[in-house]
Amino acid sequence: MISKRDRQYIIWQNRAFRFYLAARLLYQNDLYSPAAFCAVQAIESLLKATLVYWDKSFVPKAAGHKIASMIRSIKNKVKGGKNFYCPEYFYKEKRFQAITRYPATGKGVLVPESFLIDLDKVFSDLIRLVPFQFNSELIHALNGNEKTKLKILRRNNLQIRKLRKYLNVRLEKKT
């Protein structure tokens, strides 16, 4: 039987996965500002998913966009979370959250060359902090049921093997 907590985790993970795919696709097509926005949405949603799973007192809406605070909670409340790391540029001064959408005098958005590698690692590390993984969009993409999503996910992604191993997913062979 799947608990309410498990179901909520997968709902949040699916939302995060969609923003993650969007960030990867946008970045790969040189649309850096929208990629940065989608990346921070993916990270925020997956942080919330992880905390929904591990912390019964966590209220996603109350957490708002406080990524640094959620990262501290991950380190303090999540089994195996002490070593979790998210590069600060994803959430510093809410540049990816706000400046990518609203012009601000004297501020811009710098997307580093390591952006995609960093994003893939953060996403993979967060997925691997939660033992419950069932029937998610990520699993369907990794097993080949969603070819377009799989193509976006695999391109230059150094974390694919780790994700497949953790989720115990292999490409299904179509007969």
All domains in the chain, ordered by first residue: 4-132 (1.20.120.330)
How far is residue 57's CA from residue 54's CA, in Å, rounded to a whole number?
A: 9
To 5 degrees, how large is the angle CA 164–CA 91–CA 25? 45
How far is residue 46's CA from residue 52's CA, in Å, rounded to a whole number?
A: 10
pLDDT at position 76 is 97
pLDDT at position 82 is 98
pLDDT at position 174 is 65
pLDDT at position 175 is 55
pLDDT at position 172 is 74
Residues 6+ apart with CB under 8 A from 104: 98
Which one, of 112, 119, 108, lies nearest residue 152 by Cα?
A: 119
Tens-of-pLDDT digits for all 175 residues of the chain? Answer: 899 999 999 999 999 999 999 999 999 999 999 999 999 999 999 999 999 999 999 999 999 999 999 999 999 999 999 999 999 999 998 888 888 788 777 777 889 999 999 999 999 999 999 999 999 999 999 999 999 999 999 999 999 999 999 999 998 776 5
